[in-house]
Homo-oligomer: A and B are copies of this chain.
């Protein structure tokens, strides 16, 4: 590695840059800049891990006031974990482990906040840097905050879609800590085995048989809480099997991030069974992140929650790895290591 070069992935110039845009290989443009210098009040961060989230669609397209589109020619952004390698900022020392929404590049310059105006987050020195993008990152916080908003109660049945994924696997484990009966939905024997290893009481392989019937069989008293990361078919199957007064958390909708939404057909069950369904936007809840991070760090240290990592190496592979996520290939927290720690 040449330390004076700053490898970057820029947003490509593609004609259809509207809200219906799905990312394709052409949106990723490789660029080499020079390593940036910092000014007073800034830190220089060397990126170790990039986090290829489905949310990168949103990042590039711009889905809300707090998540504006990145114009073509600018570096792509996303969750990164790295080290402070130079600091002229009073709060940050060289060597500290840090995460934030920054450039998809070897180096990012920060004034102490990330591209969303959120303060950079410290990863505790006794925990793995990769945990900063997993249990202590968006995955863990979405699981923690999302589940808290649909208040599972001990003994209730909690169903989790995308149960082998970064968020789903943690949501299920937190529900287990709360004394719930936890059922996961995943695809294929390998992912189902992972879900079982994490201690879920039951696992449904959505590739084996009719999903709604499987949910009915394994949740005979109905689903009290459905934690959804997928949308589409799993959401319809859960809605058809909710208990009266059940709660649905729309944490993500992998099947809806592309240009074409597959839709759902059972929402009227909300009225039939007094069910509530809510979502939450991670960046609307920045004030709750510190409490969540502290709790998640405790559980991680105590071995109460386990992270499943799926780490790949290579800056060059970023576009392919990102795009592959939408075909459902994720098992645990996918990270791309672009530099050695």
Residues of A with Cβ closer than 8 Å to B?
Answer: 58, 63-64, 231, 235, 244-245, 250-253, 256-257, 261-281, 284-285
Contact = CB atoms under 8 A, between A and B. Distances in A.
**Which of the listed residues A257, A266, A277, A284 has the most CB atoms from chain B within 10 Å of its own CB?**
A277
B284 A279 contact: no
B64 A268 contact: no
Contact of A275 (B63, B235, B263, B279): B279
A252 B269 CA distance: 10
Contact of A266 (B245, B261, B268, B277): B261
Number of copies: 2
B235 A272 contact: no
Contact of A274 (B261, B263, B279): B279
A275 B276 CA distance: 11
A281 B276 contact: no
A267 B231 contact: yes
Contacts of A257: 268
Contacts of A274: 278-281, 284-285
A257 to B, nearest CB: 8
B276 A265 contact: no
* Closest 8 pairs between A and B when the two form their complex, measured CB to CB: A270-B279, A271-B279, A276-B278, A253-B268, A263-B263, A261-B265, A256-B268, A263-B265
26 contacts: A64-B244, A64-B273, A231-B268, A244-B281, A244-B284, A250-B268, A250-B271, A251-B271, A253-B267, A253-B268, A256-B268, A261-B265, A261-B266, A261-B268, A264-B264, A270-B277, A271-B279, A274-B279, A274-B280, A274-B281, A275-B278, A276-B276, A276-B277, A276-B279, A277-B277, A277-B278
A143 B261 CA distance: 31
Contacts of A285: 274
A281 B272 contact: yes
A224 B252 CA distance: 22
Contacts of A64: 244, 272-273
Given A263-B263, A265-B263, A252 B279 contact: no
A72 B256 CA distance: 42
Contacts of A280: 271, 274
A237 to B, nearest CB: 14
Contacts of A244: 64, 281, 284
Nearest to A235: B267
Residue among A63, A245, A253, A281 facing the most chain B CB atoms (10 A cut-off): A281
A63 B266 CA distance: 13
Contacts of A275: 278-279
